[in-house]
Structure 1
């Protein structure tokens, strides 16, 4: 199976893969199941628990703890990991150690705004900047940014920093597609809608029932989209945003 999807790619890095029921962990598992050598990184020690779980499935995955908002620590991650063929920028929203703060814009502290932008958008910038040169050097690579429908396409009250950061990830994706494409490196984004994770609130789970498919999506369904964009089969897909929301954006009236 591995050669069919990943004829040239052999290694991958997934950021923000610490949550057992999260999108990052699902992507890491899917890539490892496809035969890739996968590294995962997160902001807390629980990332090592995820690697241990994958090892029990016969999927050896290396794990590391780094603060990806720090250029110095990202450089350490690059030195430890080495070059990769596939980069999945999934880190965002906050961490178990420092959750993001929601609030309407006029009541949001500057520090909370800065953190909301940093943990999602700055991390993608720093990690991409660290790993992209090697991809360009060999003339091959895949960058997949896990954005959201929130920001690029819709918004929620009280989530201005998150929306701005995720919209920024799409802008970053478009710029990367132009800058790195001529060197054989594609950049694409996945924009999930209502996805059932441990971070989902009761209100979000209720909203998911009002989608055309009458349910929330699963992390595995988002992972399938990310794996496709990272694969050889998506070799002519560049600068795209793949929405995974069960058709929810099609509805003017929701429930």
Structure 2
């Protein structure tokens, strides 16, 4: 890994931060990214890693950010797109779904992976080596516990995009896989959801998990470390559930 350069997005959240820390600890040169502002600067300072702030769900912003990244740090061999989430939304009925809320969730959960891949894959092709890991969800395989239509649809779309990119990029030495985390207390949104279950709902969820515990960001980071390694060279197009067996 000491020869590899990685970009990890979504590091203001616990999962992205844990992945960035793990890859850096394994020896990769890591740059982190999230929305511009104090939060990304503070996250980068905590991690001790350089950052590039950008709205990665917006094509022009993503393209400009990737140009700065390559100019200042070199082209990444590894992309882990952990940016995503519910964007502070809550579950609603079908009739209450607003177009702007739908598009907002798709932008960060799906569009960002497309735009980043478009920007970074040419350099990976030139090297004949690359690793792309997306962070999907159990909501990309079944209905979501959040009750948010756009989140469920977006994560299903991300699973499909992951498989399509795998088919296209495999001949160039680039693997593309996705990690589907189970319930992890990694950010304010998941903590609010956990608290909303109440003691009875929390106990029921834990009972469904084979390991009888919630996951930690480090569990996802361990999976990402493997999928971006040389040992995972013949693993691509896979959706790895890291959920304690709940699936």
| TM-score of the pair, normalised by structure 1 | 0.86
> Quick check: 1:11 aligned with 2:5?
yes
For 1:114 and 1:101, the matched residues in 2 are separated by: 15
For 2:161 and 2:204, the matched residues in 1 are separated by: 29
Which residue in 2 is equivalent to 1:128? 117
Mapping 1:21-36, distance limit 5 Å = 22-36=14-28
> Quick check: 1:65 aligned with 2:53?
yes
Which residue in 2 is equivalent to 1:252? none
Which residue in 2 is equivalent to 1:114? 103
Q: 1:102 Cα deviation (Å)? A: 3.3
Give yes or no for contact 2:131–2:175 (8 Å, CA) kept in 1. yes
For 1:207 and 1:232, the matched residues in 2 are separated by: 39
Which residue in 1 is equivalent to 2:46? 53
For 1:206 and 1:118, the matched residues in 2 are separated by: 34
Structure 1 unmatched runs, 5+: 1-5, 56-60, 250-255
Mapping 1:24-173, distance limit 5 Å = 24-43=16-35, 44-55=37-48, 61-82=49-70, 83-95=75-87, 99-156=88-145, 158-173=147-162
Which residue in 1 is equivalent to 2:220? 222
> 4+ residue runs of structure 1 moved beyond 6 angstroms?
none
Number of paired residues?
233
For 1:241 and 1:220, the matched residues in 2 are separated by: 18
1:138-172: CA deviations, max 9, x gaps?
Answer: 11100000000112234336211001111111101
Change (3 A) 1:45 1:157: closer
1:191-229: CA deviations, max 9, x gaps?
Answer: 001112233222285554221222100000011001110
Q: 1:239 Cα deviation (Å)? A: 0.4
Change (3 A) 1:206 1:40: farther
The match for 1:176 among 162, 165, 168 is 165
Give yes or no for contact 1:101–1:112 (8 Å, CA) kept in 2. no
Give yes or no for contact 1:174–1:187 (8 Å, CA) kept in 2. yes
Structure 2 unmatched runs, 5+: none
Q: 1:110 Cα deviation (Å)? A: 1.1
RMSD of aligned alpha carbons: 1.7
Change (3 A) 1:94 1:77: farther
For 2:203 and 2:112, the matched residues in 1 are separated by: 31
Give yes or no for contact 2:90–2:146 (8 Å, CA) kept in 1. no
For 2:92 and 2:110, the matched residues in 1 are separated by: 19
| TM-score of the pair, normalised by structure 2 | 0.89
For 1:230 and 1:163, the matched residues in 2 are separated by: 26
